[in-house]
């Protein structure tokens, strides 16, 4: 994970894709080493499969991307929450879909505030 003044980057592996109770929505679990990312998203917007290595960018600026290859969406930080074992959660709503970053890195969570507009980019690593 790298933390910039207006962005953060995670690299990890999609360890599990599971069906949501909502039709046509899947929940992706991405292990990034020092954090776990959970994302629910409609199947049509998925750009990765279980087992793929991915790069996740959360930024206040619109990122460069490749149309049809990368997922890019914008949303708002809806809050932070205390998790288990001293972990903190950063919760972002992207068009109503949730992205949750669970980490022990307080600097990540404190670098964003509720109602910050952010862009989320997910790309598959080759």
What pLDDT digit, counting tens, does each position of 66-118 carry?
998 999 999 999 999 887 888 899 999 999 999 999 998 888 888 899 999 99
Q: Is 4's pLDDT higher than 60?
A: no
How far is 17 from 12, CA to CA, in rounded Å?
14
Q: What is the pTM of this model?
A: 0.90
**Residue 3: predicted pLDDT:** 54
As given in the structure block, the two tokens for residue 112 are: 């964003």
As given in the structure block, the two tokens for residue 26 are: 């899947």
Which residue has 């991915």 as its token pair?
Answer: 54
Domains and CATH numbers, the chain: 2-124 (2.40.50.140)
């Amino acid at each position: 994970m790298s933390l910039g003044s207006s962005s953060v980057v995670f690299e990890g592996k999609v360890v599990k894709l599971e069906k949501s109770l909502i039709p046509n929505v899947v929940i992706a679990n991405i292990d990034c080493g020092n954090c776990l990312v959970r994302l629910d998203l409609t199947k049509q917007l998925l750009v990765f499969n279980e087992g793929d290595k991915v790069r996740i960018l959360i930024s206040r600026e619109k990122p460069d991307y490749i149309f049809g290859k990368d997922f890019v969406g914008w949303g708002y930080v809806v809050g932070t929450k205390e998790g288990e074992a001293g972990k903190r959660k950063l919760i972002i709503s992207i068009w109503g879909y949730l992205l949750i970053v669970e980490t022990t890195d307080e600097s990540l969570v404190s670098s964003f505030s509720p109602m910050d507009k952010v862009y989320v980019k997910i790309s598959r690593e080759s």
